Amino acid sequence: MTTTKQTQLFKEDNTMFPVCYTKILERVNNINGAKYGSTRNYINGAVTYLSPYISRGVISTKLILSSLLSKGYKPITIEKLIQELAWRDYWQQVWVAKKEEINNDLKHKQNPVLNTNIATAIVKANTGIYAIDNAIKLFYNTGYLHNHLRMYIASIACNIAKSHWYNPAQWMYYHLLDADWASNALSWQWVAGANANKKYVANQANINTYCFTKQRNTFLDVAYHEFATMQVPKVLTNLTTLDLKTSLPKQTTISLNETLPTYIYNFYNLDPNWGKEILANRILLLEPSHFKTYPISQKTLNFIIDLATTNLSNIQIFIGEFNDLMTQHRLTDVYYKEHPLSTHYVGTEVARDWMFSVQGYYPSFFAFWKRCKKELNY
Protein backbone atom coordinates (compact mmCIF):
# COMPACT_ATOMS: atom_id res chain seq x y z
CA MET A 1 0.00 0.00 0.00
CA THR A 2 1.50 3.33 -1.06
CA THR A 3 -0.01 6.76 -0.53
CA THR A 4 -0.38 9.14 -3.47
CA LYS A 5 2.16 11.50 -1.88
CA GLN A 6 4.70 8.67 -1.55
CA THR A 7 4.07 7.47 -5.10
CA GLN A 8 4.92 10.95 -6.34
CA LEU A 9 8.20 10.80 -4.44
CA PHE A 10 9.09 7.44 -5.95
CA LYS A 11 8.79 8.97 -9.42
CA GLU A 12 11.50 11.48 -8.55
CA ASP A 13 14.25 8.88 -8.40
CA ASN A 14 16.17 9.73 -11.58
CA THR A 15 16.12 13.51 -11.09
CA MET A 16 15.97 13.79 -7.33
CA PHE A 17 19.63 14.68 -6.84
CA PRO A 18 21.39 16.09 -9.92
CA VAL A 19 25.17 16.38 -9.68
CA CYS A 20 25.76 19.43 -11.90
CA TYR A 21 26.73 22.46 -9.78
CA THR A 22 24.53 24.77 -11.87
CA LYS A 23 21.51 22.59 -11.12
CA ILE A 24 22.41 22.54 -7.43
CA LEU A 25 22.54 26.34 -7.35
CA GLU A 26 19.16 26.45 -9.09
CA ARG A 27 17.80 24.34 -6.25
CA VAL A 28 19.26 26.81 -3.74
CA ASN A 29 17.67 29.68 -5.63
CA ASN A 30 14.27 27.95 -5.70
CA ILE A 31 13.97 27.43 -1.92
CA ASN A 32 10.55 28.44 -0.66
CA GLY A 33 11.72 29.85 2.64
CA ALA A 34 8.31 31.11 3.72
CA LYS A 35 6.52 27.79 3.12
CA TYR A 36 9.26 25.63 4.64
CA GLY A 37 8.41 26.28 8.28
CA SER A 38 4.74 25.34 8.05
CA THR A 39 5.12 22.27 5.83
CA ARG A 40 8.52 20.73 6.56
CA ASN A 41 7.21 17.93 8.80
CA TYR A 42 4.95 16.53 6.07
CA ILE A 43 6.47 14.09 3.60
CA ASN A 44 5.46 16.38 0.74
CA GLY A 45 6.57 19.54 2.53
CA ALA A 46 8.60 22.36 0.99
CA VAL A 47 11.93 20.93 2.11
CA THR A 48 15.08 21.93 0.24
CA TYR A 49 16.53 18.56 -0.85
CA LEU A 50 19.95 20.14 -0.35
CA SER A 51 21.27 17.91 2.44
CA PRO A 52 23.39 15.66 0.14
CA TYR A 53 25.21 18.71 -1.19
CA ILE A 54 25.75 20.24 2.25
CA SER A 55 27.06 16.95 3.63
CA ARG A 56 29.43 16.49 0.70
CA GLY A 57 30.73 20.04 1.08
CA VAL A 58 29.57 21.07 -2.39
CA ILE A 59 27.68 23.97 -0.83
CA SER A 60 27.66 25.34 2.70
CA THR A 61 24.97 26.39 5.13
CA LYS A 62 26.48 29.87 4.88
CA LEU A 63 25.94 29.96 1.12
CA ILE A 64 22.29 28.98 1.54
CA LEU A 65 21.65 31.61 4.21
CA SER A 66 23.36 34.28 2.10
CA SER A 67 21.21 33.33 -0.89
CA LEU A 68 18.00 33.56 1.14
CA LEU A 69 18.87 36.94 2.64
CA SER A 70 19.91 38.30 -0.77
CA LYS A 71 16.41 37.53 -2.04
CA GLY A 72 14.89 39.76 0.62
CA TYR A 73 13.80 37.19 3.19
CA LYS A 74 13.78 38.55 6.74
CA PRO A 75 15.33 36.19 9.30
CA ILE A 76 12.14 36.14 11.38
CA THR A 77 10.12 34.80 8.42
CA ILE A 78 12.54 31.94 7.72
CA GLU A 79 13.76 31.30 11.26
CA LYS A 80 12.77 27.62 11.23
CA LEU A 81 14.79 27.00 8.07
CA ILE A 82 17.79 28.87 9.49
CA GLN A 83 17.49 26.80 12.66
CA GLU A 84 17.51 23.55 10.71
CA LEU A 85 20.63 24.66 8.86
CA ALA A 86 22.16 25.62 12.21
CA TRP A 87 21.46 22.11 13.54
CA ARG A 88 23.86 20.76 10.88
CA ASP A 89 26.59 23.17 11.96
CA TYR A 90 25.85 22.38 15.61
CA TRP A 91 26.32 18.64 15.15
CA GLN A 92 29.58 19.31 13.32
CA GLN A 93 30.77 21.55 16.17
CA VAL A 94 30.00 18.76 18.64
CA TRP A 95 32.04 16.36 16.49
CA VAL A 96 34.95 18.80 16.31
CA ALA A 97 34.92 19.13 20.11
CA LYS A 98 34.13 15.56 21.15
CA LYS A 99 35.87 13.69 18.31
CA GLU A 100 35.43 9.90 18.61
CA GLU A 101 33.34 10.30 21.77
CA ILE A 102 30.31 10.74 19.51
CA ASN A 103 30.62 7.04 18.63
CA ASN A 104 29.47 6.24 22.17
CA ASP A 105 26.52 7.31 24.30
CA LEU A 106 27.39 10.97 24.72
CA LYS A 107 25.34 12.18 27.70
CA HIS A 108 23.43 9.22 29.10
CA LYS A 109 23.55 5.46 28.77
CA GLN A 110 20.79 4.36 26.44
CA ASN A 111 18.36 2.35 28.53
CA PRO A 112 16.96 -0.22 28.16
CA VAL A 113 19.07 -1.97 25.52
CA LEU A 114 18.27 -5.57 24.65
CA ASN A 115 20.55 -6.00 21.64
CA THR A 116 23.21 -4.31 19.52
CA ASN A 117 21.83 -5.36 16.14
CA ILE A 118 18.88 -4.07 14.10
CA ALA A 119 15.40 -5.50 13.64
CA THR A 120 15.22 -7.50 10.40
CA ALA A 121 11.81 -6.02 9.72
CA ILE A 122 13.38 -2.57 9.43
CA VAL A 123 16.12 -3.74 7.07
CA LYS A 124 13.61 -5.61 4.91
CA ALA A 125 10.98 -2.85 5.04
CA ASN A 126 8.54 -5.26 6.61
CA THR A 127 7.48 -3.61 9.87
CA GLY A 128 3.82 -3.55 8.92
CA ILE A 129 3.73 0.24 9.21
CA TYR A 130 2.86 1.24 5.64
CA ALA A 131 4.45 4.69 5.73
CA ILE A 132 7.66 3.33 7.25
CA ASP A 133 8.00 0.36 4.92
CA ASN A 134 7.35 2.44 1.82
CA ALA A 135 9.81 5.07 3.02
CA ILE A 136 12.54 2.45 3.49
CA LYS A 137 11.93 1.09 -0.01
CA LEU A 138 12.18 4.62 -1.36
CA PHE A 139 15.31 5.10 0.73
CA TYR A 140 17.06 2.13 -0.88
CA ASN A 141 16.01 3.44 -4.29
CA THR A 142 17.04 7.08 -3.90
CA GLY A 143 19.40 7.39 -0.93
CA TYR A 144 17.03 9.92 0.65
CA LEU A 145 14.80 9.91 3.75
CA HIS A 146 12.64 12.76 4.98
CA ASN A 147 13.82 13.94 8.39
CA HIS A 148 10.58 12.97 10.13
CA LEU A 149 10.86 9.45 8.74
CA ARG A 150 14.44 9.19 10.00
CA MET A 151 13.15 9.97 13.47
CA TYR A 152 10.29 7.47 13.17
CA ILE A 153 12.66 4.70 12.07
CA ALA A 154 15.21 5.50 14.78
CA SER A 155 12.49 5.49 17.40
CA ILE A 156 11.19 2.09 16.27
CA ALA A 157 14.74 0.66 16.23
CA CYS A 158 15.90 2.07 19.57
CA ASN A 159 12.83 2.69 21.69
CA ILE A 160 10.46 -0.05 20.49
CA ALA A 161 12.87 -2.83 19.39
CA LYS A 162 15.31 -1.63 22.08
CA SER A 163 18.41 -1.92 19.91
CA HIS A 164 21.45 0.15 20.81
CA TRP A 165 21.57 3.10 18.43
CA TYR A 166 25.07 2.60 16.96
CA ASN A 167 24.59 -0.23 14.43
CA PRO A 168 21.15 0.92 13.21
CA ALA A 169 22.66 4.40 12.76
CA GLN A 170 25.42 2.88 10.63
CA TRP A 171 22.78 1.10 8.52
CA MET A 172 21.06 4.41 7.81
CA TYR A 173 24.36 6.25 7.22
CA TYR A 174 25.43 3.54 4.77
CA HIS A 175 22.50 4.22 2.45
CA LEU A 176 22.22 8.01 2.80
CA LEU A 177 23.45 10.25 0.00
CA ASP A 178 23.71 12.95 2.68
CA ALA A 179 25.66 10.66 5.02
CA ASP A 180 27.08 12.93 7.72
CA TRP A 181 28.26 10.89 10.68
CA ALA A 182 27.85 13.72 13.20
CA SER A 183 24.31 14.60 12.15
CA ASN A 184 23.34 10.95 11.84
CA ALA A 185 24.93 9.51 14.98
CA LEU A 186 24.02 12.39 17.27
CA SER A 187 20.45 12.52 15.96
CA TRP A 188 20.05 8.79 16.63
CA GLN A 189 21.41 9.36 20.13
CA TRP A 190 18.93 12.22 20.57
CA VAL A 191 16.05 9.89 19.65
CA ALA A 192 17.37 7.11 21.89
CA GLY A 193 17.85 9.39 24.90
CA ALA A 194 21.64 9.02 24.88
CA ASN A 195 22.11 12.63 23.79
CA ALA A 196 18.93 14.11 25.26
CA ASN A 197 17.02 14.10 28.52
CA LYS A 198 14.14 12.10 27.09
CA LYS A 199 13.46 9.69 24.25
CA TYR A 200 11.57 10.54 21.09
CA VAL A 201 8.55 8.39 20.24
CA ALA A 202 5.78 8.75 17.68
CA ASN A 203 2.54 6.81 17.54
CA GLN A 204 0.49 5.72 14.55
CA ALA A 205 -1.73 8.81 14.69
CA ASN A 206 1.34 11.04 14.35
CA ILE A 207 2.64 9.02 11.40
CA ASN A 208 -0.80 9.07 9.74
CA THR A 209 -0.93 12.84 10.02
CA TYR A 210 2.42 13.61 8.45
CA CYS A 211 2.56 10.71 5.97
CA PHE A 212 -1.07 10.90 4.74
CA THR A 213 -1.96 7.36 5.77
CA LYS A 214 -5.03 6.11 7.66
CA GLN A 215 -3.59 2.94 9.14
CA ARG A 216 -4.89 1.50 12.40
CA ASN A 217 -4.26 -1.51 14.65
CA THR A 218 -0.45 -1.52 14.39
CA PHE A 219 2.01 -1.86 17.26
CA LEU A 220 2.28 1.93 17.21
CA ASP A 221 -1.48 2.50 17.40
CA VAL A 222 -1.33 3.26 21.12
CA ALA A 223 -1.54 6.25 23.42
CA TYR A 224 1.80 7.88 24.25
CA HIS A 225 1.78 6.82 27.90
CA GLU A 226 1.72 3.15 26.81
CA PHE A 227 5.19 3.33 25.25
CA ALA A 228 6.85 3.23 28.68
CA THR A 229 5.63 -0.32 29.38
CA MET A 230 5.41 -1.69 25.83
CA GLN A 231 7.02 -5.06 25.17
CA VAL A 232 9.00 -5.57 21.98
CA PRO A 233 6.47 -6.42 19.25
CA LYS A 234 6.93 -9.86 17.72
CA VAL A 235 7.58 -8.37 14.27
CA LEU A 236 10.69 -6.66 15.65
CA THR A 237 12.19 -9.61 17.55
CA ASN A 238 14.11 -11.12 14.63
CA LEU A 239 17.46 -9.36 14.32
CA THR A 240 20.01 -8.79 11.56
CA THR A 241 23.75 -8.54 12.13
CA LEU A 242 25.05 -5.98 9.68
CA ASP A 243 27.99 -6.58 7.34
CA LEU A 244 28.40 -3.20 5.68
CA LYS A 245 31.26 -2.77 3.23
CA THR A 246 32.37 -0.20 0.69
CA SER A 247 33.61 -1.45 -2.67
CA LEU A 248 36.15 1.19 -3.63
CA PRO A 249 37.27 1.27 -7.28
CA LYS A 250 40.69 -0.03 -8.24
CA GLN A 251 43.45 2.53 -8.36
CA THR A 252 44.36 3.85 -11.77
CA THR A 253 47.55 5.72 -12.62
CA ILE A 254 47.52 9.39 -11.70
CA SER A 255 49.98 12.04 -12.78
CA LEU A 256 50.86 14.97 -10.52
CA ASN A 257 52.96 18.03 -11.17
CA GLU A 258 55.21 18.21 -8.13
CA THR A 259 55.88 21.91 -8.74
CA LEU A 260 52.21 22.79 -8.18
CA PRO A 261 50.24 22.91 -4.94
CA THR A 262 47.91 19.97 -4.31
CA TYR A 263 44.32 20.40 -3.15
CA ILE A 264 42.87 17.41 -1.32
CA TYR A 265 39.17 16.66 -1.66
CA ASN A 266 37.37 13.89 0.18
CA PHE A 267 33.99 12.53 1.23
CA TYR A 268 33.22 15.71 3.18
CA ASN A 269 34.74 18.29 0.81
CA LEU A 270 33.75 18.51 -2.84
CA ASP A 271 33.56 22.31 -3.03
CA PRO A 272 33.98 23.31 -6.71
CA ASN A 273 34.77 26.94 -5.79
CA TRP A 274 37.60 26.16 -3.40
CA GLY A 275 40.78 27.65 -4.86
CA LYS A 276 39.40 27.36 -8.39
CA GLU A 277 41.53 30.31 -9.54
CA ILE A 278 44.70 28.46 -8.48
CA LEU A 279 46.57 26.20 -10.89
CA ALA A 280 46.92 23.06 -8.81
CA ASN A 281 46.78 19.30 -8.63
CA ARG A 282 43.31 18.26 -7.44
CA ILE A 283 42.93 14.89 -5.78
CA LEU A 284 39.79 13.14 -4.56
CA LEU A 285 41.25 11.05 -1.74
CA LEU A 286 39.30 7.88 -0.91
CA GLU A 287 40.95 6.25 2.10
CA PRO A 288 40.13 2.57 2.70
CA SER A 289 40.55 3.10 6.46
CA HIS A 290 37.87 5.79 6.42
CA PHE A 291 35.34 3.65 4.58
CA LYS A 292 36.09 0.62 6.75
CA THR A 293 35.03 2.62 9.82
CA TYR A 294 32.24 4.51 8.07
CA PRO A 295 31.07 2.29 5.17
CA ILE A 296 28.81 3.68 2.45
CA SER A 297 26.71 2.07 -0.27
CA GLN A 298 27.63 1.82 -3.94
CA LYS A 299 24.93 4.39 -4.71
CA THR A 300 26.53 6.90 -2.33
CA LEU A 301 30.02 6.14 -3.64
CA ASN A 302 28.88 6.67 -7.23
CA PHE A 303 27.21 9.91 -6.18
CA ILE A 304 30.38 11.44 -4.72
CA ILE A 305 32.51 10.35 -7.68
CA ASP A 306 29.94 11.84 -10.08
CA LEU A 307 29.87 15.10 -8.09
CA ALA A 308 33.66 15.30 -8.17
CA THR A 309 34.20 14.44 -11.82
CA THR A 310 31.33 16.66 -13.00
CA ASN A 311 32.26 19.81 -11.08
CA LEU A 312 35.99 19.68 -10.31
CA SER A 313 38.18 20.38 -13.30
CA ASN A 314 41.07 17.91 -13.76
CA ILE A 315 40.22 16.02 -10.59
CA GLN A 316 42.07 12.72 -10.16
CA ILE A 317 41.09 9.94 -7.79
CA PHE A 318 43.55 8.34 -5.39
CA ILE A 319 42.52 5.14 -3.62
CA GLY A 320 44.76 4.82 -0.59
CA GLU A 321 45.80 6.48 2.63
CA PHE A 322 46.91 10.09 2.86
CA ASN A 323 50.46 9.05 3.82
CA ASP A 324 50.62 6.78 0.76
CA LEU A 325 49.69 9.70 -1.47
CA MET A 326 52.35 11.91 0.11
CA THR A 327 55.06 9.26 -0.12
CA GLN A 328 54.34 8.01 -3.63
CA HIS A 329 54.16 11.48 -5.16
CA ARG A 330 56.57 13.42 -2.93
CA LEU A 331 54.05 16.16 -2.22
CA THR A 332 55.15 19.15 -0.16
CA ASP A 333 52.60 21.92 -0.78
CA VAL A 334 49.28 20.42 0.28
CA TYR A 335 45.96 22.11 1.15
CA TYR A 336 42.91 20.55 2.76
CA LYS A 337 39.78 21.66 4.58
CA GLU A 338 39.35 21.24 8.32
CA HIS A 339 37.27 18.24 9.38
CA PRO A 340 37.36 15.82 12.34
CA LEU A 341 38.28 12.99 9.95
CA SER A 342 41.15 14.93 8.36
CA THR A 343 43.26 15.50 11.46
CA HIS A 344 45.94 13.11 10.19
CA TYR A 345 46.48 15.17 7.04
CA VAL A 346 49.67 17.21 6.84
CA GLY A 347 49.85 20.55 5.07
CA THR A 348 47.89 23.80 5.16
CA GLU A 349 44.52 23.41 6.84
CA VAL A 350 41.78 25.69 5.51
CA ALA A 351 38.73 26.57 7.62
CA ARG A 352 35.28 25.49 6.52
CA ASP A 353 32.51 28.01 5.84
CA TRP A 354 30.28 28.10 8.90
CA MET A 355 26.97 29.93 8.90
CA PHE A 356 27.87 31.82 12.07
CA SER A 357 31.06 32.67 13.91
CA VAL A 358 29.91 30.69 16.98
CA GLN A 359 32.21 27.75 17.59
CA GLY A 360 33.03 25.31 20.36
CA TYR A 361 30.96 22.81 22.31
CA TYR A 362 27.54 23.69 23.65
CA PRO A 363 25.66 21.05 25.65
CA SER A 364 22.38 21.84 23.87
CA PHE A 365 21.40 23.11 20.47
CA PHE A 366 19.40 25.98 21.91
CA ALA A 367 22.38 27.24 23.89
CA PHE A 368 24.26 27.24 20.58
CA TRP A 369 21.34 28.83 18.71
CA LYS A 370 20.97 31.60 21.29
CA ARG A 371 24.49 32.75 20.44
CA CYS A 372 23.99 32.32 16.68
CA LYS A 373 20.77 34.28 16.67
CA LYS A 374 22.59 37.39 17.85
CA GLU A 375 24.36 37.53 14.48
CA LEU A 376 21.07 37.80 12.57
CA ASN A 377 19.60 41.20 11.87
CA TYR A 378 16.03 40.85 13.15
User: What residues does 337 pair with on adjacent strands?
Assistant: 350
d(CA 158, CA 147): 16
Q: pLDDT value at position 164?
A: 98
Q: pLDDT value at position 377?
A: 82
For 367, phi then psi, to 5°, come to -70, -40
Q: How far is CA 238 from CA 121, 125, 136, 167, 172, in A?
A: 7, 13, 18, 15, 18
User: Largest Cα–Cα distance of the chain, in whole Å?
Assistant: 69
Q: pLDDT value at position 118?
A: 98
Q: pLDDT value at position 9?
A: 46
Q: pLDDT value at position 361?
A: 96
Nearest to 165, CA basis, from 155, 176, 174 = 155
**Amino acid type, 40:** R
Q: How far is CA 298 from CA 229, 288, 307, in A?
A: 40, 14, 14
Q: What is the DSSP letter of 268?
A: T
d(CA 378, CA 376): 6
Structural contact between residues 272 and 58, judged by C-beta atoms closer than 8 angstroms:
yes
Q: pLDDT value at position 17?
A: 97
Classified as helix, coil or strand, 209 is: helix
Q: pLDDT value at position 378?
A: 79
CA-based torsion, 282, 283, 284, 289: positive or negative:
negative
CA-based torsion, 194, 200, 204, 210: positive or negative:
negative
For 335, phi then psi, to 5°, come to -125, 140
d(CA 358, CA 341): 21
Per-residue pLDDT of the chain (378 residues; tens, 9 = 90+): 444 444 444 444 457 999 999 999 999 999 999 899 999 999 999 999 999 999 999 999 999 999 999 999 999 999 999 999 999 999 999 999 999 999 999 999 999 999 999 999 999 999 999 999 999 999 999 999 999 999 999 999 999 999 999 999 999 999 999 999 999 999 999 999 999 999 999 999 999 999 999 999 999 999 999 999 999 999 999 999 999 999 999 988 999 998 999 999 999 999 999 999 999 999 999 999 999 999 999 999 999 999 999 999 999 999 999 999 999 999 999 999 999 999 999 999 999 999 999 999 999 999 999 999 999 987
Q: What is the DSSP letter of 8?
A: H
For 269, phi then psi, to 5°, come to -145, 100
**Amino acid type, 144:** Y
Structural contact between residues 155 and 145, judged by C-beta atoms closer than 8 angstroms:
no
Q: pLDDT value at position 3?
A: 47
User: What residues does 283 pair with on adjacent strands?
Assistant: 264, 316
d(CA 171, CA 198): 23
d(CA 82, CA 372): 10
Burial (0-12, 13-18, 19+ Cβ within 10 Å), 377: exposed
Q: pLDDT value at position 173?
A: 98
Rama region for 255: left / alpha / beta (φ>0; ψ in -120 to 50; rest): beta
Q: How far is CA 258 from CA 228, 236, 265, 330, 366, in A?
A: 63, 56, 17, 7, 47
Q: pLDDT value at position 2?
A: 44
Please compute, for residue 162, the number of CA atoms within 13 A of its CA located in the half-sphere on the CB side: 14
Structural contact between residues 118 and 168, judged by C-beta atoms closer than 8 angstroms:
yes
d(CA 321, CA 285): 8
> What are 228-256's pLDDT values in tens digits?
999 999 999 999 999 999 999 998 899 99
Structural contact between residues 283 and 264, judged by C-beta atoms closer than 8 angstroms:
yes
Classified as helix, coil or strand, 228 is: helix
Classified as helix, coil or strand, 21 is: helix
Classified as helix, coil or strand, 14 is: helix
Determine how many CB atoms are found less than 10 A away from the CB of residue 14.
Answer: 8
pTM: 0.95
